[in-house]
Structure 1
């Protein structure tokens, strides 16, 4: 989508945040949103280089099957008229209901008369939408989830497809390996998951009408009219809704000695830009192992901890080394070899080389453009945004 004004960007930011959050999780969405918006602004300014930088820093890899389902569900609801904030609230299960929203944007669904306590869109008890709402009020999500042959995690609910088998069972590795077992000719649902304490936790829910309740009486699942089973994940344990932010970068280690002070100064500047909250210390770098060289370590100047983007800082020394009038084939060979090592060790990670001088960045890109090396070359100095 091409956005041609700041106002348009602001109007779209909340929608974009909702889609990113549902697809990649809240933590990833927060770190990526500003880069995606900045990329759009730079693209509108016809600054493709900086637009590419921000997209690389966003590090939004193609979503997997489960993430695609969540994205499609959220996009489908937004197109139907649901507000982005409602998508975020529903995903976080923070008492902003799906009830009124799904009913409002579902053609042909029964309307709840005004004044009955549900029209305001607030939960009426602590059970959540599974305990309080009529099955038809989650009909939109249920019908969407029914398109898939396997369990679909959509906006806080785990939808289990209807089946002719008596025994309904399975597991969802992405949700703490949550597993479920229900024999349709029995009245109990067995749920278990891996807790943050390293132990396996279990609970047995009893069928009460069309709602499964835990021993405390809280609704944790419901059987819908079409025989889909929908489990309210957060009602089982808050652990299942926590965003787990993985460690994407190796631990910094002392860098090779010998760099000039002015080049270290530029490295420090780049490090502050890449990880502003906790810059890598001066004189430190990071390493990844090169699988094509028996696991030999490959050096990088830094790694953006929120995204896993690998970074190298090329100071003012490279301006002289790459000067056109002093063509240096040895430097070209070393740069090519370094780029190949880093790409091999990165195994698909974005890699950005920051240059203190514009001519050096342009020359390096020209020298290496004939090689199939996936490295971004960027002129970046203090004061640039």
Structure 2
């Protein structure tokens, strides 16, 4: 399936368990979200990905009810929720800073939202009512609340932590308490606003899989906001890539990486070589011929318009790096060359353990290539002449953008 562009996302925005239709949010003269339309399936893990200020958190806040859209619609399970308070939308929220109560233990933190619902649902608004509930002085509520909190803590693998103080928990455990507090009310939609940003790198990597595992076990529809492409790519079923308040592309992670809709999307997601090219015509087989820096390349992408300018995307890991023959070429382009090969000279070597990165000067410009480390004897050195080769299926052709 081809990745969805913004127009395709708008066209498909009418279907799904959670639906945004032409959602727009303005703050005075500033347009934070503009015309966002997308449909999210029940049980799907859906990520809103983009740089700071792109509108992803504002979009989530409109779903949650913390912001009211200037125009457009939000629907959850077929019900329009515009004008409803956050408590009426059947959503649970995990905030970036967790928003836990440090003077409460784990049980009270998880039970708080549940007890607030009980309070407003008929226990009464008298002074001290919440304290009474939390302290278990209302007997007919105590067992019910205890069972629901225990179930939520078991879902996040914190069974037995009920009486721990928040200060006694690690960052990952605090994050799971915040998740349990959102899940205890059994919402239809779970909203997570950059919940891993406060964790160190190692713990953040561990929590990605923990959250994903919990989400799959519970089966809850989840919207996850992040600026970290690795988080989105490793956790989400689908990703909406946002820029300047608009959706640039909606796609599965692999599609977003392999077939980005724009050069900006290609540059934002993963590491990329974006070279200036010009379409030379159709290939003898499937695809197109393209001129890159005076050199002919083949791509399996089909473009009919000859002489049209394009951007040529080649991912570093798609490039095979080998030593040039003794009489091989240089960065100036000497020596023999096969189609879809570049002759160049190594300018920089970055050793990353399992992967070695090479910056190579070529006639088409500076190219970044990645090579699996096969032992010290396989390492190239600065100044070595090399041959870079790429299969036509990994050469992507993109329309140039009017803006940087």
- The normalised TM-score by structure 1 is 0.28
> Which is richer in helix?
1
> Which is richer in strand?
2
- The normalised TM-score by structure 2 is 0.27
Higher RCO, 1 or 2 (CA under 8 Å, sep at least 6)?
2
